[in-house]
Amino acid sequence: MTFGEKLKIARTEAGLKQAELARQLNTTGNTISNWENNVSKPDLDMLSYICEALHVNASYFLKAKLPEDEVNIKELTMVKKYRNLDPHGKKMVDFILQEEWKRSGMRIIMDDKDF
């Protein structure tokens, strides 16, 4: 996945339009478009501001491929939501996740027991 593709995904996951991100970074929408279309790339200083604006680590952009066990932005958002649930809500999410994994014929093993 290219830098531009990752930037567009992170921007849309953050709920920002190109113009909104440009405003936060004190740049233009055309610059954001060029980055997303791999016409150009930001310098390292700007990358730091991009990461802050989009709430992602620099490794998200710098690694060529996310390892299978690394959490992507959408998954991280779900984890943050899960952490804010009360015990009943967590129990419901755990139940649904377990049932869906069973239905799909897969198993997750955590701490030597089925999840």
Q: What is the largest CA-CA distance in the chain?
A: 52
Using one digit for the tens of pLDDT, what is the confidence trace for 17-72? 999 999 999 999 999 999 999 999 999 999 999 999 999 988 888 876 555 666 67
pLDDT value at position 111? Answer: 42
Using one digit for the tens of pLDDT, what is the confidence trace for 78-114? 888 889 999 999 999 999 988 888 888 765 555 444 4
pTM of this prediction? 0.59
pLDDT value at position 114? Answer: 47
pLDDT value at position 50? Answer: 96
pLDDT value at position 115? Answer: 45
Domain ranges of the chain: 3-62, 73-114
Q: Chain-centre distance of CA 91, in angstroms?
A: 24
C-beta atoms surrounding 61 within 10 Å:
18
pLDDT value at position 29? Answer: 94
pLDDT value at position 100? Answer: 86
CATH of 3-62, one of 1.10.1740.10, 1.20.120.140, 1.10.260.40, 3.40.1410.10: 1.10.260.40
Token representation of residue 71: 């959490």
